[in-house]
Amino acid sequence: MLFVEGFRLLFVLAGSFGGYEAGQHVGGGAHAPLIGLLFGAAISYVLGGVAGRLTDKALQKAVFLLRNTPPGEVFASSIISTSGMLLGMVIGLPLLVYVHSGIALLVTAVLVWVLASLGWRIGSVKGRQIVEAAGLSRILSPQSSSARSEAMLVDGSAVTDRLLLVLGRSGLLPGGLVVPQFVVDHLRAVSEAPDPVTSRRARRGLESLEALREMNIPVHIAPDEIPETDDLDGKLLTLARRTGLRIGTCSTAVIDQAARWELIAVDLREVSNGLAPDHTPGEVLTVELIKEGRQPRQAVGYLADGDMVVVNDATHLIDAGTVEVTVLSTRPTSQGIMVFAKLATGGGVEEQPGRQREASQSTGR
């Protein structure tokens, strides 16, 4: 309340002075300046109260947004913003000296505002580098003790991918994982969605985090909310910039944005494809066909690691036991490697024991 009334007082003083000056230039008798002063004071009193309340709300929102901003970024933004404001004043000073009009004052104010805003934005983006270059990182940006610097910051696409469990079982996550709270909340919401596929993947992702904890792999839930943006990718990138952690994701959009933000991001799909078995054309695999494919006479089976095998002209061998097939080509997908194959020349069908007994019983009859 005190800020609003002080703001209004400044408005009234400025309005009174402006009204007095206007009354002198308009003319109309000796009482014109006094009338102009009264009108200026009355109008500025109302406008000052409105402007003061709006400014007070804006300042409160700014304080809320800066609450979770690292002090290094605030320091760098303040320094560069002040430098931009001073530069705007220096540029606009000749206009104020040689051009005696309100336009010169307006142009100078616009220059000051634009350069100050530009400086603040540059400081917020490059704050960490500026602080490090100034040698103040140890004072203004102390390392967080909640998560190790070797940890990986992951998003929802990484949590729902099976590769994290594979890396955890293999001991390739020594620094553990950092999962933002907003990612966990998003996965919980998706797990209750009516779509059975997405809800199942979200539940599997949450279960994988618990499985990693049971493997004694550190899984830290970061409570940062990042209220300045509603976009999940933007929240993730902002948190990565603040913590200095590398990002683990399966999202192409996050990879592209991280490159623009000059952040380190690991594409887990590329890692998965690189670690996947290399099924070269001509290699013979053994697979059990369990269902029809999308194209006519195609049959589909799965290898032990979960990779899909699509076999041409093999629908008559569905549920007929394991079949030898020859690899034609492979294609990486979001779920792993898809293998395209044909029936091996001279390859037979290895019947399952139950089917063998059934066949012998039917032969006996």
Per residue, the 3-state secondary structure of the chain, as one string, reads CHHHHHHHHHHHHHHHHHHHHHHHHHCCCCCHHHHHHHHHHHHHHHHHHHHHHHHHHHHHHHHHHHCCCCHHHHHHHHHHHHHHHHHHHHHHHHHHHHCCCHHHHHHHHHHHHHHHHHHHHHHHHHHHHHHHHCCCHHHHCCCCCCCCCCCEEECHHHHCCCHHHHHHHCCCCCCCEEEEHHHHHHHHHHHCCCCHHHHHHHHHHHHHHHHHHHCCCCEEEECCCCCCCCCHHHHHHHHHHHHCCEEEECCHHHHHHHHHCCCCEEEHHHHHHHHCCCCCCCCEEEEEEEEECCCCCCEEEECCCCCEEEEECCHHHCCCCEEEEEEEEEEEECCEEEEEEEECCCCCEECCHHHHHHHHHHHHC
Q: What is the pLDDT of residue 276?
A: 64
Mean pLDDT of 140-155: 65
Q: What is the pLDDT of residue 66?
A: 61
Q: What is the pLDDT of residue 148?
A: 54
Q: What is the pLDDT of residue 357?
A: 36
Q: Rounded to an integer, what distance in angstroms lies between the CA atom of residue 263 and that of residue 253?
A: 13
Q: What is the pLDDT of residue 355?
A: 42
Q: What is the pLDDT of residue 33?
A: 76
Q: Which residue has the higher pLDDT, 134 or 169?
A: 169
Residue pair 124/73 in contact (Cβ under 8 Å)? The answer is yes
**Lowest-pLDDT range, 68-77, 202-211, 301-310?**
68-77
Q: Rounded to an integer, what distance in angstroms lies between the CA atom of residue 165 and that of residue 177?
A: 11
Most confident of 39-43, 49-53, 170-174, 217-221: 217-221
pTM score > 0.95 for this model? no
Residue 246 has pLDDT above 90, yes or no: yes
Q: What is the pLDDT of residue 39?
A: 80
Q: Label residue 354 by pLDDT band (50, 70, 90).
A: very low
pLDDT tens-digit readout, 27-71 = 666 777 787 778 878 888 888 778 778 877 776 776 666 655 666
